[in-house]
Amino acid sequence: MKKPDVLASDNKSRVNLAITMAMSKPSIFTTATAGGYISISRPTKFLKNLEICGEGRISAWVDSMRACSPTRIRTTPYLADYDQSSWIDHHPSALDKFEQIIDASKGKQIVMFLDYDGTLSPIVDDPDRAFMSDAMRKTVRKLATCFPTAIVSGRCRDKVYSFVRLAELYYAGSHGMDIIGPAKGSKYKEVGSGRGVQFQAASKFLRMIDEVYEQLVEKTKATPGAQVEHNKFCVSVHFRRVEEKKWNELAQQIRSVLKEYPKLRLTQGRKVLEIRPTIKWDKGKALEFLLESLGFADCTNVFPVYIGDDWTDEDAFKILRERGQGFGILVSKFPKETSASYSLQEPDEVMEFLKRLVQWKRPSVLRAQL
């Protein structure tokens, strides 16, 4: 996307919405709007794929770790309410625009895709305690009776299932590299022989991931607060509870392990560094695979809705834009660059949106049964 020329201070038709990240120099991402440009600064040092080899990479890692930390996202002192509302105009609340979303879905099969952490459950310091509420579980269970529903998470599939505990859903763990269909209770059938969907995109990397996990557990013992999580096809190193002055040390520890594994890559999310296989697979690919499994690969009457809060969910948002079908909904309290069309602020708003979908769908189901 082309960057704009320097914005004239007297050009009132352009809104300058700045999101600053501490200790990072901004570059300008622009989105065309009816009134001109919304100009959003993002950290140049946020790196989706962190380079493992080469001089000076550790400082780049640490800068990127700072940039992706939720606690560092803050509006500038001169950010006016008008500017914030301008971002909301471009990514309006999915609750406020619920009728608009429903109108767009008329005559189409809605398929729901939900991230877990930060979407169905709040972000917490201890990733092992990221429990969803009973009310959210009840809502998602009802949702699955109305629409095909999948959980797409960076977590190990078994771990996210232990949190959700709903057998009627599709689960795509390890950023979509480990997918399985409903064990029971789903009225939505997969294409094929009748066996449930089961797909593992990176099975040949299992032994390598095991090795890296064991080494990282040992290496990071010296860094208080660091937590290494085995997510089957990827390894997550959580630094949410690590003092910032120790981030450089943690980055050195991770690099010392990964430099021996050229077939793995390092990515990041919200206060987590993730080691993944170097295959072309992500949450967007998982979304496409699940739509194909449900028989919607080339259909024009499908309406996928993907709700997520993390950088890794952007791959799915982009796929929906490229397909020209459905919508992405970003869960965030802060304006930021996204390919999502709508926004929600927190898991409580996600639950309210899902409840409205169920309430809208159930009367139409009852009418069809008369």
DSSP 284-326: HHHHHHHHHHTT-TT-SSEEEEEEE-SGGGHHHHHHHHHHT-S
Looking at the predicted structure, is the pLDDT value of residue 19 above 80? no
pLDDT at 6: 31
CB 283 within 8 A of CB 320: no
**Which residue, chain included where needed, has tokens 């560092």?**
72
- Least Cα distance to 202 among 259, 275, 115, 288 occurs for 275
Q: Using CA atoms, how far apart are residues 121 and 283, in angstroms rounded to an integer? A: 18
Establish if 144 belongs to a structural domain.
yes
Kindly report which listed range (2-6, 54-58, 170-174, 249-253) carries the lowest average pLDDT score: 2-6
Establish if 258 belongs to a structural domain.
no
Establish if 267 belongs to a structural domain.
no
Q: What is the CATH number of the domain that holds 121?
A: 3.40.50.1000
pLDDT at 98: 97
Establish if 232 belongs to a structural domain.
no
Looking at the predicted structure, is the pLDDT value of residue 260 above 60? yes
Establish if 274 belongs to a structural domain.
no
Looking at the predicted structure, is the pLDDT value of residue 25 above 80? no
Kindly report which listed range (7-21, 150-164, 232-246, 329-343) carries the lowest average pLDDT score: 7-21
Residue 361, Ramachandran bin (φ over 0: left; ψ between -120 and 50: alpha; else beta): alpha
Catalytic positions, written as ranges: 115
Task: Write out the residue range of the structural domain in which residue 326 sits.
Answer: 5-204+279-369
DSSP state letters, 209-253: HHHHHHHHHHHGGGSTT-EEEE-SSSEEEE-TTS-GGGHHHHHHH
Looking at the predicted structure, is the pLDDT value of residue 140 above 90? yes
Provide the greatest CA pair distance for the chain: 70
Rounding to the nearest 10 degrees, give the CA dihedral for residues 358, 152, 188, 94. 30
Establish if 228 belongs to a structural domain.
no
Count of structural domains, the chain? 1
**Which residue, chain included where needed, has tokens 């990282």?**
216
List of E strands, 107-219 = 109-114, 149-152, 170-173, 178-180, 198-200
Establish if 265 belongs to a structural domain.
no
Q: Please report which confidence band the pLDDT of residue 269 belongs to, taking 50, 70 and 90 as the band edges.
A: confident
For residue 21, give the amino acid letter: M
Establish if 96 belongs to a structural domain.
yes
